[in-house]
Amino acid sequence: MKISPHTSRRGFAVIVALVSVAVLAMLAGALALFMKVENQLAQNGNDDEKLLWLGRAGVERACWVLAQEPPGPSSLKQIWAGGAGDGPETNSPLAGITLDNFPVGDGAVSLKITELESKFNINRANTPLLTSVLTTMGVDASSISLVSDSIQDWIDTDDATKPAGAESDYYQGLTPPYYAKNAPMDDIEELQLVKGVTPLMFKGGTAADPNSPFQHHKLGFGNAPGHEDYPFGLRDVFTPFSNGKVNVNTADVNVLQCLPGMDANSAQNILTLRTSDGGMNNNNGVIGNLGQLQTVVANPQAFQSLNNYCTVRGDTYEVHAIARVGTSEREYIAIVYRAGNHAMVVGFHPK
């Protein structure tokens, strides 16, 4: 059978046309994908700007809420902490206010406010306090002076080394080398740079081997060599920002037990008073002054520690603002200082 040249050329033309269509379809698909990515990037850029301002708006709302709280003791029963209010604010502009998923423009913000006076200020911690904290944690006795002195050497402004501490000459010998800060801490994470502070000591927890056939038991204070087991970490009881006093109305049981001379029963008695509805300030379970604790803290040394290290009101707050626009979400953190009926932002950054 004889094939006509015209038929052959037509067949070749059809193949070329099909290949051209396929190539054009691929190019069109690639262009569509490119445009989709570009549009998404543009949308993300637009959302980033919106999220930033939503975060700032959320922090401003937190400042307003804190400024509206009545003077006097601050507690976890107040609205900034998610409570129902401990008295006057139920009839104030705060009545009915919400901190969770409230609308702002075409987005929404959720707030979590933590009073930093619920922890000890690491920049003001002295040897008795550091020793008490480390002992309560269960740090081995041979490491307590090392960690305590090294923390104080890191913060103080001189290069004189405490007996068990460390200054820049020690840190320069590490890999990689770095200098002792010799200034107050700005971030509690700095503790992980301090000589003697292990990751578990910082965050709490245990290094027990789950595959070990023998369980480690703590007998008395400290840990067995090579075994760390801490019920809480340094980051749970210390903060670099506060007025220097611990608020007995907001501190948790770990912080209270770390006070020099404090025992577990006295710390629990304080928590019981805080959750009660009688016997305290205006019968609302809020501790109005430290003198009210004399009947529940039997140890004179513990009561003296309350007077030395504690207060009943906080001034410094960490605000977490979670901003949402569509499917985009971002968290921002701010440090807010309250003075009287004014609250001001002294730090703001994305998480």
Tell me the CATH number at 131. 1.10.40.60
- Is 224 inside any structural domain? yes
Neighbouring residues of 194: CB distance < 8 A, sequence distance ≥ 6: 147, 150, 151, 154, 166
- Is 247 inside any structural domain? no
**pTM summary value:** 0.81
Residue ranges making up the domain that contains 138: 123-210+217-231
- Is 205 inside any structural domain? yes
Question: Long-range contact list for 283-292, CB < 8 A, 24+ apart?
Answer: 284/77, 284/86, 284/87, 285/75, 285/77, 285/86, 286/73, 286/75, 286/77, 286/86, 286/249, 286/312, 287/73, 287/75, 287/248, 287/249, 287/312, 288/72, 288/73, 288/312, 290/248
Q: What is the pLDDT of residue 187?
A: 95
Instruction: Output the tens digit of pLDDT for each of the chain's 351 residues.
Output: 455 555 566 667 777 777 777 777 787 777 777 666 556 545 555 789 999 999 999 999 999 999 998 889 999 999 999 988 866 666 678 888 899 999 998 999 999 999 999 999 999 999 999 999 999 999 999 999 999 999 999 999 999 999 999 999 999 999 999 999 999 999 999 999 999 999 999 999 987 544 444 444 444 445 555 578 999 999 999 999 999 999 999 999 999 999 999 999 999 999 988 887 544 445 567 899 999 999 899 889 999 999 999 999 999 999 999 999 988 999 999 999 999 889 999 999 999
- Is 181 inside any structural domain? yes
Q: What is the pLDDT of residue 276?
A: 72
- Is 250 inside any structural domain? no
- Is 298 inside any structural domain? no
- Is 206 inside any structural domain? yes
Which H or E element spans position 306? helix 300-309
Domain count, the chain: 1
Q: What is the pLDDT of residue 5?
A: 56
Q: What is the pLDDT of residue 217?
A: 44
- Is 94 inside any structural domain? no
Q: What is the pLDDT of residue 212?
A: 44
HSE on the CB side for 80, CA within 13 Å?
29
